[in-house]
Amino acid sequence: MTKHGWISGLALVLSTAATAPHHITPTPLTPNEQHIKQILHNLVTREDNAIITGHKADLRSIILPHSDALARAEKRARYLKVWATSRGLDVRGITISLRTPHIRFVGRGRVNIFGVVGESYRVTKKNAAPVKDAPDDRFGLGVRHDYVLVKERGQWFIASDDFTDPLNQDTRLLHQALPAQGSVQAHPPAISSRGAEKAVQYANTYCGSAPGCGNDRYYNSDYTSYNGEGGDCTNFVSQALHAGGFLMSPHWEYSQARGEGSPAWVNADRLKDFLESSGHATLYASGPYNKLTRPLPRFPDGAVNALRPGDLISYVEGHRAVHTAIVVGYDTLGFPVVDTHTSDRYRVPWDLGWDRRTIYDLWHVHYPRSVVFRTSSPRSPGTGDIMNHR
C-alpha cells in the first residue's frame, strides 16, 4: 500500500508500535469523533451502494465534483459492472462496517480520517430465480482509506479518498482495467492434506479487516505488518504456508527478534523463485484468464479449476509477480476463492480486481505429511493490527 500525505507520519508511528511487546489500547472516541464517524459511515454506505447499482447521480451527491475521489468511484463502478457481467453474476447487496483509528479535525468544516472499511458483498447467478432458504454467497473486502471530509452548504462530502483499490489492483499498467471475458464451471477438488487444511484455517483466521475473517478481524500480532511498506500479501501467504507445516530456512524465514521476514518471505517475486527452487510447490499452469479457464485435455474444466484449497496464485504484471494469494476453497457459484492481505480479502473470487492482461501463475503446493508448526492462538490485536481499532 502506498503512503499518502498526512497519513504517512501515522503509518510510521504505527509501524514502530508494531514491534512493541505490550498491548496497545485504543483511545475511546470523543462525542465529536463519534458524530463524524457516523457521518462517514453513512457516506461510505451510500457510496458503495451507488457503486454496485451504477447510479452516478448518487455518487455526485456524496463526493465533491471534479475530484479524484469521484473519478475513482466511477471507475470502480464501471469495473464491478463489467466484471460481474462477464462472469454472469449479479451483485445483490453490500453491508458496510467501519473502524476509525485516527480522526483529526483540521479546521471548521474539514476532517482527516484514517478509516478501515469492511465490505461484505452478496452475489448470485445473473437472472437466477430466488431459492427459498438458499445460503447467500458472500465475499468480504477490507480496505484502508485516507479520507478528507469537507462541509459545504451545510452538507458533508468526501473531498479526497486515497486507498489501495481491490476493484482495480492493477498499479503498473496505465490502461483502464477491464476483466477478461469467460465463465467458470467447477467441480471443486477436495482439500489435499492436513497441512493444506491448517494453512486454510490460518488464512481464514488472520486475513484481516475483511468481513468473514476470524480473530476479530485483526492480523496475527506475532508478525509485523508490511502495509505501508510495499504490501503485506506475501508475508501473509508465508505465514499460512508455515502454519501448514513448512519449516523456515535461511532463504525463507521470519525473525521474531528483528521483526522482519527474508526477501523470499515478504516479496511476491522472490517467493515464486523460492517455491520452485525448494520443490515446495509446482507451477502447473500460467497464463491470462481466458487461457486458464479454457477446457483442455489435461484440464477439462480449465486449469484454474484444478486449484485445491491451500494452493497459491501469483499475479504477474510486466514479467514480475506483484501479488500472492492463497486459495481457500470454492464458492457455491463454482469460483475458486482466495484470501489476501493489503487489500484484505476473505473468500473473494480469484480474479476480482485484475484485468485481461494479468498473467496468473497457478501453484500446487506440496505440504509436508506431518504438520510440525504450532499455530499461535488468536489473541488481542497487537502491532500490525492497530490500524483496525476504534
Name the CATH architecture for the domain at 31-162: Roll (3.10)
Model confidence pLDDT, tens digit, residues 218-237: 999 999 999 988 899 999 99
Q: Cα torsion for 102, 142, 366, 296, to the nearest 10°?
A: -150
- Cα dist. 294→1, 181, 187, 329, 356 in Å? 33, 11, 15, 20, 14
pLDDT tens-digit profile of 4-31?
344 334 443 333 333 222 234 568 999 9
Distance, C-alpha 197 to centroid of its chain: 21
Confidence of residue 176 (pLDDT cuts 50, 70, 90): very low
pLDDT at 198: 98
Which residues does residue 156 pair with via DSSP β-bridges, in sequence order? Answer: 151
Question: Could you tell me the three cell numbers for 146?
Answer: 485516507
Q: Is 222 exposed, middle or buried (0-12, 13-18, 19+ CB in 10 A)?
A: middle
d(CA 214, CA 204): 6
Mean pLDDT of all residues in 289-308:
93
User: Which cell is 9 given?
Assistant: 507520519
DSSP-derived secondary structure letter, 161: E
- The CATH code belonging to domain 194-365 is 3.90.1720
* Max CA distance (Å), the chain: 66
* φ and ψ of 21, to 5 deg: -75, -20
The three-state DSSP-derived secondary structure of 328-363 is EEECCCCCEEEEECCCEEEEEECCCCCCCCCEEEEE
pLDDT (mean) for 360-364: 98
Distance of alpha carbon 259 from alpha carbon 244, whole angstroms? 21
> What's the pLDDT tens digit per position in 263-288?
999 999 999 999 999 999 999 999 99
Q: What angle do CA 345, 347, 349 make, to 5 degrees?
A: 90
Q: Using CB atoms within 10 Å of the CB of residue 377, give its burial: 0 to 12 exposed, 13 to 18 middle, 19+ buried.
A: exposed
User: How much is the pTM?
Assistant: 0.86
Name the band, by pLDDT with cuts 50, 70 and 90, for residue 368.
Answer: very high
C-alpha cell read off for 274? 523460492
Give me the pLDDT at residue 265, please. Answer: 99
Min mean pLDDT across 165-174, 250-259, 269-278, 290-299 is at 165-174
Cell 469467460 found at: 182
**Please, which residues bridge with residue 363 across strands?**
283, 312
Asked if pLDDT for residue 35 goes beyond 70, the answer is yes
Q: What is the 3-state secondary structure (H, E, C) of 221-283?
A: CCCCCCCCCCCCHHHHHHHHHHHCCCCCCCCCCEECCCCEECHHHHCHHHHHHHHHHHCCEEE
Can you give the length of the chain in residues?
A: 390
**Separation between Cα atoms, residue 386 and residue 390, nearest integer Å:** 9
Domain layout of the chain by residue ranges: 31-162, 194-365
